[in-house]
Structure 1
Amino acid sequence: MKPLFTEKQRFTQWWIWLLIISTCFVPFIGIYKQFINGEPFGNNLMSNNSLILATVVSLSIIVLFLLMRLETKITKEGISFKFFPFVKRNYSYDEIETYKVINYGFVGGWGIRFTMKNGTVYNTKGTKGLFIKLKNGKTMVIGTQKPQELEKVVELLNCK
């Protein structure tokens, strides 16, 4: 079935990448100094194992942010999304009570957030998204960078 709406989002904000890379830069300096130059890293000698662990964790964070993406797909059968590598959900319209495009405002950051007002918010940036209330009472918001296009699809589906 051809989707009525698709969107793929990633963390593309320059300041997020600056923060991640600058934080991860410290262990790389330590590896260079301690392993290549043979000098102790910092005032206290950091063990080689600790330095290697810090570097591996730093690289893992960079790889995680490179892989993370929010994908949304709306078809005539239902709404599905995945926030790779954490969450994958598919909802048929039989499971959904209501859905609409909203401005959810700032929810304390990006990624996966839990709020009292909107339930779970999945976003990479911005303040607009698809609010979904399931028949079981659970609520969520899927962030979007295409609110006008999404609004047209929601209107089209609600007219049927």
Structure 2
Amino acid sequence: MIFKETQRFTQWWLWVILLATVAPFVYGIYQQIIIKEPFGNNPLSNAGLIAVTLFTSSILVLFAYMRLETKIDAHGISMRYVPFIKKNIPWGEVASAKVVKYGFVGYGIRLGSKFGTVYNTKGNKGLALVLQNGKKLCIGTQRPKELEQIISKISHQKNIPQ
């Protein structure tokens, strides 16, 4: 393994938003189901309140579980956006590779930027790849300098343009 990076959603403001979305419904369950007082002026049924709480909580759990994993070795690039995407790209399929700075494209999986599909958890730097079939993708990184050195070395060894 030449390079390995695991990124998670660690932005404090994101977790404040997620917790602020879930907290009222958890309190609503406590108030309406545990202490038997209706939650709000026009309360949901108990089943409805539980369903909304489970839905909003599942989004929070999803963000806690999601991560972007990048692995680079002599065979190629492996990228996982857990739990959604898994890609293995052999060096023979890579037409060009370079570390780039991109404008803010949002977080998650973004389609249609000039770098193709962008996989990002935070920041604005990533490994931009153009594949032999013309497809483009960009994998976000928090370690651009280290990644740039590794890509430069591999590009020279494998004759891949930067």
Q: How many residues align structurally? A: 157
Percent identity over paired residues: 52
Counterpart residue identity of residue 129, structure 1: G
For residues 34-113 of structure 1, the aligned pairs below 5 Å read 34-107=32-105, 109-113=106-110
Give distance in 2, aligned partners of 1:17 and 1:140: 27
- 1:45 alignment partner, SS class: coil
Query: How high is the TM-score relative to the length of structure 1?
Result: 0.95
Give distance in 2, aligned partners of 1:122 and 1:110: 8
Counterpart residue identity of residue 87, structure 2: R
Measured on the aligned residues, the alpha-carbon RMSD in Å equals 0.8
Give distance in 2, aligned partners of 1:132 and 1:11: 23
Task: Give the superposition deviation at 1:116.
Answer: 3.3
- Give the aligned partner of residue 123 of structure 1: 120
Matched, 1:138 2:135: yes
Moved more, 52-61 or 14-23: 52-61
Task: Give the superposition deviation at 1:115.
Answer: 2.5
Give distance in 1, aligned partners of 2:6 and 2:64: 13
Unaligned runs of 5+ in 2: 158-162
- 1:151 alignment partner, SS class: helix
- 1:38 alignment partner, SS class: coil
Task: Give the superposition deviation at 1:71.
Answer: 0.4
Counterpart residue identity of residue 105, structure 1: G
Segments of 4+ moved more than 6 angstroms: none
- Give the aligned partner of residue 158 of structure 1: 155
- 1:94 alignment partner, SS class: helix
CA distances 1:127-152 after superposition (whole Å, capped 9, x unpaired): 00000111111101000000000000
- 2:77 alignment partner, SS class: strand
Unaligned runs of 5+ in 1: none
Give distance in 1, aligned partners of 2:45 and 2:24: 15
Give distance in 2, aligned partners of 1:8 and 1:44: 45
CA distances 1:84-130 after superposition (whole Å, capped 9, x unpaired): 000000000111111100001201x1111112311110011000000
